[in-house]
Homo-oligomer: A and B are copies of this chain.
């Protein structure tokens, strides 16, 4: 018979056990920021308070909220006295959980660091911070025997992080393909349905509030690459440096490519892809052609989805709204509840140490070029591809009755480097006017 002593410091209502810190009774919450997600969090909690308190056998007491302007009128049911405009007014020793919803790296990193070091669990929805400095924060949390959770940083309300860490724990994740940015998916859906160019679709998206005035973070792939970096940590056990993710946005996608893609049986989506090949992981965010009957091809408008392939479970897809005050606030609240109830580290997935990030692998490609409309050109180009060992899956040739004609190829799987070499040669042929598009094709 073994006897173990557990000590509970009743003054701060925390108990340390072999399993880590356990919080008891009323949970004292501090929130950094009171924007849309923070409001969504509060509203979700107040709406479902009875059921939630019952489940966790505790209640959430929002004691401090950090805002810029204390006196601003806010559409949320909290007493004026909780608001402070200086983080130093958070007495961290008297708080159990800090929820960070101010976004950006600075000063969020410092605030979270101090919170963890003071023994508070932290919940954050900050994708940029978790992608850029997440590994440091995870270490600080571990060293201080507290938890940091970040479900809401990827995919809004869709439970991607917890599914990878818990439900798929018995699997080695082989591949993930995600539509992780709602703005670009909305724009591509618009372009596809209405046969309009990128600029027009972007403008409409901006007018409807689906795209920011400065759309760079979304349309150039930054947002999706932050999210992929976070998923990579949980799915593959590796956090990439920003430059280790191949990143390409959707500005150059033309309506021509969308039309030819459809003709060949593909849709164009901005895909965040993580793929494990033995000892290395390849990560990319780029527009890709995906077969029209693939489940991820039917994810339209502002919806997000993550398609996961495990080595036992096979294919699983999660789908939902990747943004919005209530879904994201609901994910923050799920993390809060999880921290209160489970109070343990995620088990993580595939924590292999010898994984390296790599960008170049085998893929099929879609190539569109303009050529002189004369007999024999198609054959000559096919031969040129063949000289580089590139075989072709499909070809679309269409005479336009003018001097020039478009030629579209879909290759079999090849290395991108080899394709580039072949296209350099082909581009110099006198009958080729221009290589117009090169887009990855995903199966």
A residues contacting B by CB (< 8 A) are 1-10, 17, 40, 43-45, 47-48, 51-52, 54-56, 151, 157-159, 162-163, 166-172, 293, 295, 298-300, 303, 310-321, 324, 326-327, 329-331, 333-334, 336-338, 341-342, 344, 347-351
Q: Known: A313-B331, A327-B313, A331-B313. Is A347-B351 also a contact (CB below 8 A)? A: no
- Indicate if the CB atoms of B295 and A319 lie closer than 8 Å: yes
A158 to B326, CA, bound (A): 25
The prevalent SS among residues of A at the interface is mixed
Which B residues are in CB contact (< 8 Å) with A5? 3-5
A174 to B140, CA, bound (A): 39
Residue among B312, B313, B333 making CB contact with A170, cutoff 8 Å: B333
- Indicate if the CB atoms of B157 and A314 lie closer than 8 Å: yes
Which B residues are in CB contact (< 8 Å) with A298? 295, 298
- Indicate if the CB atoms of A170 and B342 lie closer than 8 Å: no
Residue among B9, B157, B316, B334 making CB contact with A158, cutoff 8 Å: B316
Q: Which residue of B lies closest to A163 (CB)?
A: B159
- Indicate if the CB atoms of B321 and A318 lie closer than 8 Å: no
Give the Cβ gap from A308 to chain B, nearest Cβ, in Å.
Answer: 9
Which B residues are in CB contact (< 8 Å) with A314? 157, 320-321, 324, 326-327
- Indicate if the CB atoms of A168 and B334 lie closer than 8 Å: yes
Which B residues are in CB contact (< 8 Å) with A344? 341-342
Which B residues are in CB contact (< 8 Å) with A3? 5-8
Q: Which residue of B lies closest to A343 (CB)?
A: B19
A351 to B52, CA, bound (A): 10
- Indicate if the CB atoms of B1 and A170 lie closer than 8 Å: no
- Indicate if the CB atoms of B159 and A168 lie closer than 8 Å: yes
